[in-house]
Amino acid sequence: MTSLASDDVPFSELASVIERDTVLSGNVLRLVNSALYGRRGTVSSVRAAISILGLVKLRKYVFGMSVSRLWAKVAAPPSWNMGKFNDHSVAVAILADAIVQKARFDYPEGAFAAGLLHDLGRLMIATACPAEYQQAARTVLSTNRRLEEVETEILDVNHAELSALALQRWGLPPAVQKAVLYHHRSQLDPSAPNGVLPLSRAIELADYMAVDSGHRIEDFDCGTAMAPETALCTINLEQHAAAVRQELETEFQAMRAAF
């Protein structure tokens, strides 16, 4: 995961990571041979698949597959819907990656990884502290308060902070850690230089847009939904709303099939 989340992973290293894993190799070849790419012949080589998909796109797919397999090993409580969590994570990753291509953002190459892992802390709380997670959920539903505020009240830590700590433990880039830490309060993120938007802003807006598109973890998340036109208007990118929406539809189906 650390290798795939890096912004400068070499072609040879990525190919080697995939080739050593039978399941990943099979998924990559299935992807490149899918209707999405409309190829006449069958591609049977991982290295040929990399040349067709391109290094950047392949890094995203393989990272997503790897994370999805990690989620599958977690013994979550019955009240937790892993399918919804996975779908939300993928949608935010795709949307964040699309957003950072439309304007100047700090560390745009980390958008996909940050989007995919931004809510890891929610899974950690639901798994390790199911009673407290349900208490937080009930409080949010009855009071309409922000989830991270309620989590801090109950556990002295919120899911964004836990997500960032986990990424630090795993050795992911500091810029990705910071984007995840501030994904609910990007206005407080001090990381971006003047004239550049913080990566956390892209994750925050992608989160709102993913919920608006129906990809949410819990029903109470609907309170944060924001249409692409409205969300992108806050950073003067509303003219790209249709393109971003289309990218989500196309990329989500491709990644969902791979998972």
Report, as an integer, the average pLDDT of 232-251: 93
Q: Are 91 and 250 a contacting pair, CB within 8 Å? A: no
Separation of alpha carbons 247 and 92, rounded Å: 12
Q: What pLDDT, on the 0 to 100 scale, is given for residue 52?
A: 80
Decide if 217 contacts 88 (C-beta within 8 A). Answer: yes
| Continuous segment of H or E residues that includes residue 164 | helix 159-170
| Closest alpha carbon to 31 in 68, 70, 65 | 65
Residue 112 has pLDDT above 90, yes or no: yes
Among the listed residues 41, 93, 103, 34, the one whose alpha carbon sits nearest the alpha carbon of residue 64: 93
Closest CA to 216 of 226, 229, 202: 226
**Residue 84 pLDDT > 80:** yes
- pLDDT, residue 135, reads 95
User: What's the rounded mean pLDDT across residues 70-96?
Assistant: 90
| Residue 156 DSSP class | S
- Cα-based torsion angle of the residue sequence 13, 94, 134, 151 in order, rounded to the nearest 10 degrees: 80
- 87 φ, ψ to 5°? -60, -45
* CA–CA dist 135, 158 (Å, integer): 14
Q: Which of 20-24, 70-74, 124-128 has the highest mean pLDDT?
A: 124-128
Assess whether pLDDT exceeds 90 at residue 192. Answer: no
Give, to the nearest 10 degrees, the angle between helix 22-32 and helix 55-72. Answer: 130
pLDDT band at 40 (very low <50, low <70, confident <90, very high): low
- CA trace torsion 79, 84, 225, 99 (10° rounding): 150
Grade residue 5 by pLDDT with cuts at 50, 70 and 90. Answer: low
* Reported pTM: 0.86
CB 207 within 8 A of CB 190: no
d(C-alpha 187, C-alpha 205), whole Å: 12
pLDDT band at 181 (very low <50, low <70, confident <90, very high): very high
**What domains, with CATH codes, occur in the chain?**
1-65 (no CATH), 74-258 (1.10.3210.10)
pLDDT of 121 over the 80 cut: yes
